[in-house]
Structure 1
Amino acid sequence: MMTTEFHKGDRVTWQSHGGTAEGKVLRKITEDTELAGRTVRASKDAPQYLVRSTESGGEAVHKPSALKRKG
């Protein structure tokens, strides 16, 4: 199954608790990583993306399937 690939600086949207959130991709994660006290499980075949919300400035990690390219 082919997943969408994102790059640093890409503008994306995702579903959040309060509705649709918008932000930018900070980086692609391709190996298990500790972020904010949590272990992010990722690999080259199953990457995740660190994104920053433009509204709150908060950072979160999402699977590619949860993100949509904006514009």
Structure 2
Amino acid sequence: MTLHTIMPLEDVWEHRGEEDPSAEVRVKGVLMEVRPLDFNRAEIIRLLDGPLDNYLNPAFAPGQIIQYVPSS
């Protein structure tokens, strides 16, 4: 990868490798990547697998908050 920038490399690569914790959960037959918020709530990041009509369902849109039971 080539970067053409006037920013110092320390600033460009400062947060490299740091990612938000995410988890994969299946809710109502849809496998999705979520960002846990608290004990039983999570924010949908993206859908990974499920019936195609669920991709158009506003309840499963990225950014929506869902209720789920985390598995340990």
More helix by share: 2
Q: TM-score, normalised by structure 2?
A: 0.41
More strand by share: 1
Q: TM-score, normalised by structure 1?
A: 0.42
Higher-Rg structure is: 2
Of structures 1 and 2, the one with the larger relative CO (CA 8 A, separation 6+) is 1
